[in-house]
Amino acid sequence: MSNLKHATVSSWQRDHDGTYSAEINGYKLEVTWQPEGGTEPRGFRWKGEGPAGQRIGNREPQEEIEHAMAEAEAAAEADEAPSDEEAA
């Protein structure tokens, strides 16, 4: 049995620019693809903004979009989301 959380894919919408967005628990979330370049690895990055303007995001890109979405959803649903300093 896998311990990986799964994204609520139906909550996410594909935007015209290729990003994916969702609004969960008052957080506006966005997942984008980051191509490999220089010192940055390739993968899916996510960021979000909460109802009080707090910002959250991932430090390391995810290989699978579903993992990035699930991570974003979990952060938006957590009682204590990462602070601005912790978000990338």
Model confidence over 3-22: pLDDT tens digits? 556 667 778 999 999 899 99
Closest C-alpha to 86, from 64, 60, 56, 62: 56
| Domain-embedded: residue 60 | yes
| Domain-embedded: residue 1 | no
Global pTM value: 0.78
Largest CA distance in the chain: 37
Average confidence (pLDDT) over 56-69: 94
* Strands of the sheet with 43-49, listed across from one edge: 13-14, 20-24, 27-34, 43-49, 55-57
Is residue 83 over pLDDT 80? no
Average confidence (pLDDT) over 47-57: 95
Question: How many domains is the chain partitioned into structurally?
Answer: 1
| Domain-embedded: residue 29 | yes
- pLDDT interval class at 73 (50, 70, 90): very high
Is residue 88 over pLDDT 60? no
Q: How far is CA 19 from CA 12, 13, 30, 48, 68, in A?
A: 10, 8, 7, 13, 12
| Domain-embedded: residue 85 | no
Domain that holds residue 30: 9-77
| Domain-embedded: residue 82 | no
> Which strand (E) or helix (H) includes residue 75?
helix 65-77
Residue with tokens 């628990």: 25
